[in-house]
């Protein structure tokens, strides 16, 4: 398609060429083509670096992806090391974090969009939610350490880690849910009110279902972010050498990114391969979650607005 476009613009050139105006036109055409090439180049550059990165990781790690890799705990010996504990930890964290952050975040978004009065303090809250969303994740780690680990005495448990990550993604969930709710047209609300619906009926019966695809997309993307976070968990003291699977929220734990970080920082070459293999697992997990987000969006968009 791009090729025909370029050809057409070349073919259309030689109509009248002598005047100043047509020279200006051809200069603009040239500029147009250059800009097009530039855009193409930047996309290519971005894709290339991604492909190189993934290619490198696959090359390094794919041969280390064996059944045992998933069934074993980590070990001093690279040949016996696996990610069983990290996978269990990550799955636990995934569910616990969503259990905290999703209901809270979506409710906050509903309140801010539907119920909050147009007052100064609401505006102030809104601005600060935006600020929180841009905060470096290590700060959340420090908050988690001070509040959950020390003050509430949760120690280095799954609970402390998940609450910390929940805090981290809360502002993102709030903002994306707000955007989704905002996108519901006024005409839909009016239709519902005109039928004699109460406010909560309008919110839960019409506005939420209509904004669900948007909310779900935001939720899943922010949970993917939580799954990939390392820094705040290191701060609150998640372990890197765990030879057991957690059975309750009070247990100590590790997660995939920490395991990767730990292996990648070891001097032995073999552990770098292990890290690459674990990265492949993490990437697959993230791709899978994004796929779910896309699937849900498609599914619920059957009733498009």
Partner 1 sequence: MSASVNKSEEQVILEVRDLDVFYGQKQAIHSVSMQIKKGTVAALIGPSGCGKSTFLRSLNRMNDFVGTAKVTGDVLYKGQNLYGKKVDPVELRSQIGMVFQKPNPFPKSIYKNITWGPKVNGFDGDTDLLVEKSLKRASLWDEVKDRLHDSAFDLSGGQQQRLCIARAIAMNPDVILMDEPCSALDPRSTQGIEDLISELKRRYTIIIVTHNMQQAGRISDETYFFHEGHLVEFGETKQIFTNPSKKKTEDYITGRFG
| 205 sits near partner 1 (criterion: CB under 8 A) | yes
Q: How far is the CB of 209 from partner 1 (least distance, A)?
A: 7
Contacts of 268 (CB under 8 A, 6+ apart): 78
CA-closest candidate to residue 158, choices 235, 252, 88, 232: 252
CA-closest candidate to residue 220, choices 290, 126, 127: 290
Q: How far is the CB of 173 from partner 1 (least distance, A)?
A: 22
> In the chain, how many H helices and how many E strands?
13, 0
Q: How far is the CB of 298 from partner 1 (least distance, A)?
A: 14
Give the number of residues in contact with partner 1, rule: CB under 8 A: 22
In the list 45, 46, 135, 195, the residue contacting partner 1 (rule: CB under 8 A) is 195
| 190 sits near partner 1 (criterion: CB under 8 A) | yes
Interface segment toward partner 1; rule CB under 8 A; list 77-85, 128-136, 182-190, 291-299: 182-190
Tokens of 176: 């994306």
Contacts of 82 (CB under 8 A, 6+ apart): 68, 69, 70, 71, 72, 73, 74, 75
| 53 sits near partner 1 (criterion: CB under 8 A) | no
| 120 sits near partner 1 (criterion: CB under 8 A) | no
Longest dimension (CA), the chain: 83
| 54 sits near partner 1 (criterion: CB under 8 A) | no
The Cα–Cα gap between 89 and 94 comes to: 8
In the list 83, 102, 169, 210, the residue contacting partner 1 (rule: CB under 8 A) is 210
| 302 sits near partner 1 (criterion: CB under 8 A) | yes
Residue ranges in contact with partner 1 by CB under 8 A: 118, 185, 187-188, 190-198, 201, 205-206, 209-210, 302-305
């Amino acid at each position: 398609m791009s090729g025909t476009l370029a050809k057409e613009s070349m073919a259309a050139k030689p109509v009248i060429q002598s005047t100043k105006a047509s020279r200006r036109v051809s200069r603009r055409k040239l500029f147009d083509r250059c800009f097009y090439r530039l855009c193409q180049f930047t996309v290519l550059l971005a894709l290339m670096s991604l492909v190189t990165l993934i290619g490198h990781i696959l090359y390094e790690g794919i041969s280390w992806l064996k059944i045992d890799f998933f069934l074993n705990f980590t070990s001093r010996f690279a040949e016996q090391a696996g990610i069983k504990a990290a996978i269990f930890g990550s799955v636990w964290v995934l569910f616990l974090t969503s259990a905290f952050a999703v209901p809270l975040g979506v409710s906050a978004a509903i309140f801010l969009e539907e119920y909050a009065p147009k007052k100064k303090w609401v505006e102030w809250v809104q601005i600060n939610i935006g600020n929180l969303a841009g905060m470096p994740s290590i700060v959340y780690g420090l908050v988690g350490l001070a509040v959950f680990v020390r003050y509430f005495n949760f120690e280095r448990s799954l609970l402390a880690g998940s609450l910390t990550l929940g805090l981290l993604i809360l502002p993102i969930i709030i903002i994306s849910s707000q955007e989704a709710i905002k996108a519901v047209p006024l005409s839909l609300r009016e239709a519902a009110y005109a039928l004699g619906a109460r406010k909560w009926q309008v919110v839960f019966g019409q506005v939420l279902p209509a904004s669900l695809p948007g909310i779900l997309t935001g939720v899943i993307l922010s949970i993917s972010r939580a799954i990939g976070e390392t820094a705040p968990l290191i701060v609150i003291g998640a372990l890197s050498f765990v030879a057991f699977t957690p059975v309750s929220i009070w247990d100590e734990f590790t997660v995939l990114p920490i395991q990767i970080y730990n292996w990648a920082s070891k001097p032995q070459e073999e552990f770098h391969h292990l890290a690459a293999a674990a990265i492949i697992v993490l990437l697959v997990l993230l791709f899978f979650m994004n796929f779910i987000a896309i699937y849900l969006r498609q599914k619920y968009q059957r009733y498009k607005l």
